[in-house]
Amino acid sequence: MFENIDTSLVDWSRGQFALTAMYHWIFVPLTLGLSFIIAIMESLYVKTGQEEWKKITKFWMTLFGINFAIGVATGIILEFEFGTNWSNYSWFVGDIFGAPLAIEGIMAFFLESTFIAVMFFGWNKVSRKFHLVSTWLVAFGANLSALWILVANAWMQNPVGMHFNPDTARNEMLNFWEVLLSPVAISKFIHTITSGYVLAAIFVIGISSWYLLRSRENLLAKRSILIAAVFGILSSVMLIFSGDGSARQIAHIQPMKFAALEGLYNGQEGAGLVAIGVMATAPGDTNSRNVKDFTFSLEIPNFLSYMAYGKFDAFVPGVNDLVDGNPQRGIMSVAEKMERGRFARESLALLKNARDNGDSATYNQIKARFSDDTFKENYFRYFGYGFLDNPESVIPNVPVAFYSFHIMVGLGFYFALLMIFVLYYLYKDKLENKRFLLRLSVFTIPLAYIASQAGWVLAEMGRQPWVIQDLLPTMAAISHINTTTVQITFWLFAVLFTALLIAELSIMFKQIKIGPK
Amino acid sequence: MFESLSYLALQQYWWAIISLLGSLLVFLLFVQGGQTLIYTLGKNEKERTILVNSLGRKWEFTFTTLVTFGGAFFASFPLFYSTSFGGAYWVWIAILFCFIIQAVSYEFRSKPANVFGPRTFETFLFINGALGTILLGTAIGTFFTGSQFSVDLANITQVNDPVISRWETPYRGLEAALNIQNVSLGLTVFFLARILGILYFLNNVEQPDIHVRAKKSLLRNTIPFLVVFLTFVVLLLTRKGFAVDPQTGSVYYENYKYLHNLFTMPVVAILFLTGTLLVLYGIVISLPGNTSKGIWFSGPGTVLVVFSLFCLAGYGNTAYYPSTFDLQSSLTIQNSSSSKYTLVTMSYVSLMVPFVLAYIFYAWRSINREKITEAEIQQESHLY
């Protein structure tokens, strides 16, 4: 059935997109958070007039500039890859997805790129206040840019505010505000940007700790830690609350992802939350579902039910319930969804035939079907399932989802604790003596990046096989290119990005060693 | 406000926005043109640093305009995005590579421990300036000469092969380089970018030796520019074009289509001629005297010329992205656009464009009051 779809092409296309997205995401969170930290520092300079604050601002601004440039370089690829590698996707949902990308350019990128020039080159050319406003506008521009791309991503996870137009064979926007203000988009935006703020805070604290360990730049280091720790702790509170909200939304709109992130195969009432666990292939498991079990786990009883539905005894469906269906719980099987998806797809094919043959009676009859709420609710919403050939293909990689979720959450709580300790000892004026804490802060910098990447791995790999939840699987979203072409560009991107990353890290380390001017 | 407009009017409005963004992009390619002249105009490290820093304060505008051009095209004409980017894969990937290497080069070039050395990043800037402009111009050339692709929206119902748009040659867009008209447009953009780069340096840099070399270089670039530009114009106005029957939407060949478009759309003809004269006037006044104002004529002239070329491609019942493989797969502003609702929504967003242009102008003026000299560079804390 799938003889013409080259699954290796889908995999390489996914791999290329993942490669560019993950490289891009190395640099973006620091831009999001550091821009605000710099703006706060410069505000203190303008308010107090102390040259030390200006020196601190300029130092962090130098690191910001190095990071920003490579973020821009990796970002341009992502926008155009939707066309180059996902051309079917670009048409099928471009009517909705393209708008946030264009708005991002008009509203955010120009704001960022215009005022970043003032921020770097305007110190001796514009007034202090204009310069400060420019720095704040760069921070708002960067975060506004994140808003639009995250709105677009949230829509892929939870498509709302649109309908399917059978004549154009694509989804079309019906309500812009529903797309923009979707609860999933709001949670995703808050959770993602605050994760960037925490990463930036850890970055500033880590580098400042390195100076304190070497008894260098003490004033810069302590002031930077003060700003970053307060900023980071406040952001952590938002991060935890928005993360909790996101988990509840996932349980409702992407129950398979939710089951996977907890490694829950069989649904339970009063399901427990695995705080720590190690997964392995279940003993004696020979079926193709490749069920994983925990060789070790620490579980908080009933907490998963509470996290998902606000009740300690609520039923949380597992992977098996979602694939096989669970009539008692009102869960439809994937096989049934595939049948309904096929019917929706075949209806579209019949419509096309009727139009080509000039059979207006059949055409009108089928067209009316696509406007009928019952058809939309019971058939078209499963359109993407019509492309699947095996019910188990809706199962994402469970261990990847489980570990990425637990790494992200565990490290997130660790960062909050670390920042509280650092702030406490700074307040007590004992931080310089806490050398273990300072060393820990330095070594925490890479952990912040790992947590940040893990969040995106969960978000994107956890929703496989869907590029648009329930409507379009990745295999139907590709471009008509051959695998070798994508393999070549994958390796070209990998080599280029790695070379640029090496240069970026080398420059960054050197600037940190040099210190403020 | 926009709701009252017809669907066609909205499609035409968005083609105008795309045309404006495209024409601003070509003007801003003066950064790329300037990058190809760093070693021609700068004979020592100090001079090269002046030139790089002069361009470095503007490169992000070009980059951002390119990204916004792409985003706006995606939002308003998604079938083009789907067909061209997924089809002419190698051309677009090559263009992207040219811009990736530019983005880091300014920031990394003069920083200590940049691993690859300043020459590597200067080479990156040259590649971006030369290859980036030629490839962009060549790719836009296919708007008039056509490409080999097919589109069938019903493919989405085919489980075993659901891709709606297919490129029908294995060369993935590289075949555009075999067409003299495409190449002449690519070279036109390249030499125009260099001319604009020179005019920008004359305006922004205060360094006598650079000015002397810039004027010599201006003449050397103007001659080939005129040759390739005239070649492109003659080929464009004498070729058969891709006309659309407004009643049926079917596409057919029409001899002298783009010449006919000039006659049927006199405003476009006026824009084209005015723009061409402004470009030439900016060059002519910069060649002999000490004026630094050439960019203020050639820049807007470029915008007018490119805008009028986009109008020729998309308006007047013309297929703006024609298919020579299957004429009826050609893209027009009617058959490739977003829905009316999306175009209306995006039209409200487009009202921000004048505001964006205003703050860019204000901020740009604020940091450009002083010309770039050796002394100015020495005072600057952030150097490229």
How many residues belong to chain A? 517
pLDDT over 70 (residue A283) = no
Maximal C-alpha separation, chain A: 85
Q: Which two tokens stand for residue A270?
A: 């009063």
Measured distance CA(B73)–CA(B229) in Å, rounded: 26
- Do A83 and A458 touch, CB atoms closer than 8 A? no
Is beta strand A273-281 parallel, antiparallel or unpaired with respect to A315-316?
A: unpaired
Task: Give me the DSSP letters along B62-84.
Answer: HHHHHHHHHHHHHHH-HHHIIII
Q: How many CB atoms lie within 10 A of CB A133?
A: 16
One domain for residues A152 and A203? yes
Q: Which two tokens stand for residue A316?
A: 């949380």
How distant, in Å, are the alpha carbons of A96, A265, B197 from that of A164? 11, 33, 48
- Taking an 8 Å cut-off on Cβ atoms, the answer to whether B162 and A476 are in contact is yes
Look at residues A347, A470, A5 and name the one whose alpha carbon lies nearest to residue B162: A5
Look at residues B89, B374, B87 and name the one whose alpha carbon lies nearest to residue B206: B374
Give residues with Cβ within 8 angstroms of A449, minimum separation 6: A26, A199
As a three-state string, the secondary structure of A295-318 is EEEEEECCHHHHHHHCCCCCEECC
A329 belongs to a structural domain: no
- Residues B68-81 as b or e (16 or more Cβ within 10 Å = b): bbbbbbbbbbbbbb
Residue A312, judged by CB atoms within 10 A of its CB (0-12, 13-18, 19+), counts as middle
* Chain B residues inside the 8 Å CB shell of A120: 382
Measured distance CA(A17)–CA(A478) in Å, rounded: 12
- Do B27 and B299 touch, CB atoms closer than 8 A? yes
**pTM of the entire structure?**
0.93
pLDDT at A295: 84
Q: Which two tokens stand for residue A185?
A: 């988009």
- Taking an 8 Å cut-off on Cβ atoms, the answer to whether B363 and A115 are in contact is yes
- Taking an 8 Å cut-off on Cβ atoms, the answer to whether A172 and B339 are in contact is yes
- Do A98 and B79 touch, CB atoms closer than 8 A? no
Give the mutation candidate from B336, B339, B345 for the A interface (greatest A CB count, under 10 A). Answer: B339
One domain for residues A287 and A184? no
pLDDT over 50 (residue A383) = yes
* Per-state percent for chain B, helix, strand, coil, to nearest 5: 70, 5, 20
Chain B: closest CA distance from residue A62 (Å): 8
Chain A: closest CA distance from residue B254 (Å): 27
A153 belongs to a structural domain: yes
Chain B: closest CA distance from residue A212 (Å): 24
Q: Which two tokens stand for residue B232?
A: 């492109």
- Do A62 and A493 touch, CB atoms closer than 8 A? no
Measured distance CA(A487)–CA(A417) in Å, rounded: 43
- Do A82 and A97 touch, CB atoms closer than 8 A? yes
The residue from A392, A413, A437 where one domain ends is A392
What is the radius of gyration, based on Cα positions, of chain A?
25
Look at residues B301, B292, B297, B294 and name the one whose alpha carbon lies nearest to residue B204: B292
- pLDDT digit string (tens) for chain B, length 384 residues: 899 999 999 999 999 999 999 999 999 999 999 999 999 999 999 999 999 999 998 999 999 999 999 999 999 999 999 999 999 999 999 999 999 999 899 999 989 999 999 999 999 999 999 999 999 999 999 999 999 999 999 999 988 889 999 999 999 999 999 999 999 999 999 999 999 999 999 999 999 999 999 999 999 999 999 999 999 999 999 999 999 999 999 999 999 999 999 999 999 999 999 999 999 999 999 998 778 899 999 999 999 999 999 999 999 999 999 999 999 999 999 999 999 999 999 999 999 999 999 999 998 888 888 888 888 888 877 788
One domain for residues A43 and A175? yes
pLDDT over 80 (residue A168) = yes
- Do B231 and B211 touch, CB atoms closer than 8 A? no
One domain for residues A36 and A119? yes
Return the bridge partners of B244, or none: B251
How many residues belong to chain B? 384
Give residues with Cβ within 8 angstroms of A77, minimum separation 6: A20, A24, A493, B96, B100
Name the residue with tokens 């009617």.
Answer: B334
A56 belongs to a structural domain: yes
| Partner residue opposite B86 with nearest CB, options A79, A87, A105 | A87
| More confident site: A293 or A476 | A476
Residue type, A15: G
Q: What percent of chain A has pLDDT over 70?
A: 97
C-alpha A256, offset from chain centre:
17
Give residues with Cβ within 8 angstroms of B296, minimum separation 6: B203, B282
**With bands split at pLDDT 50, 70 and 90, how would you rate the model's confidence at A288?**
low
**With bands split at pLDDT 50, 70 and 90, how would you rate the model's confidence at A4?**
low
What is the average pLDDT value for chain A, to the nearest integer?
A: 94
A8 belongs to a structural domain: no
- Model confidence pLDDT, tens digit, residues A207-244: 999 999 999 999 999 999 999 999 999 999 999 999 99
Residue-range domain boundaries for chain B: 2-379
- Taking an 8 Å cut-off on Cβ atoms, the answer to whether A99 and B345 are in contact is yes
Count the alpha carbons within 13 Å of B42 in the hemisphere toward its beta carbon.
23
Give residues with Cβ within 8 angstroms of A349, minimum separation 6: B154, B157
A363 belongs to a structural domain: yes
The answer for B 292-351 residues in CB contact with A (under 8 A) is: 338-339, 341-342, 345-346, 349-350
The DSSP element (H or E) to which B149 belongs, if any, is strand B149-151
One domain for residues A45 and A169? yes
A230: left (phi over 0), alpha (psi -120 to 50) or beta: alpha
One domain for residues A251 and A295? no
Measured distance CA(B124)–CA(A161) in Å, rounded: 44
One domain for residues A96 and A234? yes
As a three-state string, the secondary structure of B254-318 is EECHHHHHHHHCHHHHHHHHHHHHHHHHHHHHHCCCCCCCCHHHHHHHHHHHHHHHHHHHHCCCE
pLDDT at B254: 97
Name the residue with tokens 């070039």.
Answer: B109
- Taking an 8 Å cut-off on Cβ atoms, the answer to whether B382 and A120 are in contact is yes
One domain for residues A474 and A438? yes
Measured distance CA(A60)–CA(A225) in Å, rounded: 12
What is the radius of gyration, based on Cα positions, of chain B?
21
pLDDT at A173: 96
Name the residue with tokens 């079907």.
Answer: A369
B359 and chain A in contact, CB less than 8 A? yes
The residue from A392, A409, A424 where one domain ends is A392
One domain for residues A312 and A372? no
The DSSP element (H or E) to which A164 belongs, if any, is strand A162-165
pLDDT over 50 (residue A1) = no
**With bands split at pLDDT 50, 70 and 90, how would you rate the model's confidence at A2?**
very low
Number of domains in chain A: 3
One domain for residues A173 and A111? yes
Give residues with Cβ within 8 angstroms of B310, minimum separation 6: B15, B18, B19, B22, B23, B143, B320
One domain for residues A132 and A92? yes
- What backbone torsions phi and psi does residue A279 show, to the nearest 5 degrees? -100, 150
Q: How many CB atoms lie within 10 A of CB B170?
A: 9
> What is the DSSP code (8-state) at residue B325?
S
The residue from A392, A415, A441 where one domain ends is A392
> What is the DSSP code (8-state) at residue A332?
P
The DSSP element (H or E) to which B219 belongs, if any, is helix B208-238
Name the residue with tokens 């790719």.
Answer: B139
Q: Which two tokens stand for residue B43?
A: 């004979």
What average pLDDT does the segment A491-508 reach?
A: 96
Task: Give me the DSSP letters along B77-146.
Answer: -HHHIIIIIHHSHHHHHHHHHHHHHHHHHHHHHTSTT-SS-HHHHHHHHHHHHHHHHHHHHHHHHHHHH-
**Domain span including residue A165:** 20-258+393-510
Measured distance CA(A235)–CA(A37) in Å, rounded: 12
Measured distance CA(A9)–CA(A150) in Å, rounded: 26
pLDDT at A63: 96
- Taking an 8 Å cut-off on Cβ atoms, the answer to whether B115 and A117 are in contact is no
- Taking an 8 Å cut-off on Cβ atoms, the answer to whether A114 and B359 are in contact is yes
Chain A: closest CA distance from residue B243 (Å): 22
- Model confidence pLDDT, tens digit, residues B148-162: 999 999 999 988 889
* Chain A residues inside the 8 Å CB shell of B163: 87-88, 478-480
Give residues with Cβ within 8 angstroms of B4, minimum separation 6: none
Measured distance CA(B31)–CA(A186) in Å, rounded: 38
Give the mutation candidate from B7, B20, B366, B380 for the A interface (greatest A CB count, under 10 A). Answer: B366
Task: Give me the DSSP letters along A174-231.
Answer: S-HHHHHT-HHHHHHHHHHHHHHHHHHHHHHHHHHHHHHHTT-SHHHHHHHHHHHHHH
- Do B111 and B56 touch, CB atoms closer than 8 A? no
pLDDT over 60 (residue A287) = no
One domain for residues A165 and A228? yes
pLDDT over 90 (residue A292) = no
Give the mutation candidate from B82, B329, B376, B383 for the A interface (greatest A CB count, under 10 A). Answer: B82
* Chain B residues inside the 8 Å CB shell of A4: 160-161
**With bands split at pLDDT 50, 70 and 90, how would you rate the model's confidence at A502?**
very high
- Model confidence pLDDT, tens digit, residues B69-78: 999 999 999 9
C-alpha A455, offset from chain centre:
6
- Taking an 8 Å cut-off on Cβ atoms, the answer to whether A126 and B366 are in contact is yes
The DSSP element (H or E) to which A334 belongs, if any, is helix A334-356
